[in-house]
Amino acid sequence: MKREITLAIETAVAGGSLSLFEGDSIIDNWIGKKEVSRSEELISEISEILKRNCLKPLDLETLAVSRGPGSYTGARIGLATALGLKDGLSIKCFGVSILDAFYTFYNSLENPKLDVIAAISFKKSEICFQSFENYFDKKGCERILPQITSFEKFIQFVNQKTNTRVILNQKLYFDIENHWNIDMSGIVNAGEKLSDHIGQQLIKGYGSDNLKPIYPYAL
């Protein structure tokens, strides 16, 4: 029986990450340690993660790649790598917003009765976030476009919200926990393996044919 193999690529946040899926199960990961993944390193790590799992590039069936938001350079590296694999292997490739993936991750944790703010660290002193306002009289939720803001303004914004969950990547979670006066009880750490969320978003049917980076706007 052919193995259903999906490779998820996330390079827009921190050092990036890779996740390998068989069906809907994660079978391996890689996390980059540098600030931005280099294309040669990413290709090398993709080769290594496949080799560790007795797979060849031709065994890949689907690619899920992060469109960001996050590092412009990082997102472009991930998208260019995914497009190269897509064309070279003639396989399917889908783009995913990491902030949309955080929202879906929250919905998998508990009954989605609360509004959600999904956020990632952006550059050295900024945050990129997106609000998802749930409406229970219709399907889905209203998405407010991703925005860039300072730590101070983000904390003020979160403190003004009630009945809201905040989903953060691990670095941002610890930065806020250690340096800012805020109630952490409503804040969820999405971890550092962000490619896991990218792959799971696709497997749940939320991938897009759009393979262009997401550009947030400044407040």
**pLDDT for the residue numbered 136:** 45
Return the SS3 of 146: coil
CATH superfamily, domain 5-97+193-218, is ATPase, nucleotide binding domain (3.30.420.40)
Q: 35, 15 in Cβ contact below 8 A? A: yes
Domain 99-189 in the same topology as domain 5-97+193-218: yes
pTM of the model: 0.91
C-alpha span between 115 and 141 (Å, rounded): 9
Domain 99-189 has CATH 3.30.420.200: yes
**pLDDT for the residue numbered 219:** 45
Q: Kindly list the distances between the CA atom of residue 202 and the CA atoms of 65, 94, 137, 142, in Å, as whole numbers in the listed order.
A: 9, 7, 26, 20
Q: Could you give the strand order of the β-sheet that contains 5-10, starting from the edge strand earlier in sequence?
A: 25-31, 17-22, 5-10, 60-66, 92-96
Domain boundaries, the chain: 5-97+193-218, 99-189
The string of DSSP codes covering 8-21 is: EEE-SSTT-EEEEE
Q: How many helices (H) and strands (E) does the chain have?
A: 6, 12
pLDDT in tens, the chain (219 residues): 567 999 999 999 988 999 999 999 999 999 998 765 678 889 999 999 999 999 999 999 999 999 999 988 899 999 999 999 999 999 999 999 999 999 988 877 765 668 899 999 988 789 999 998 865 444 555 667 899 999 999 999 999 988 889 999 999 999 999 999 888 999 999 999 999 999 999 999 999 999 999 987 654
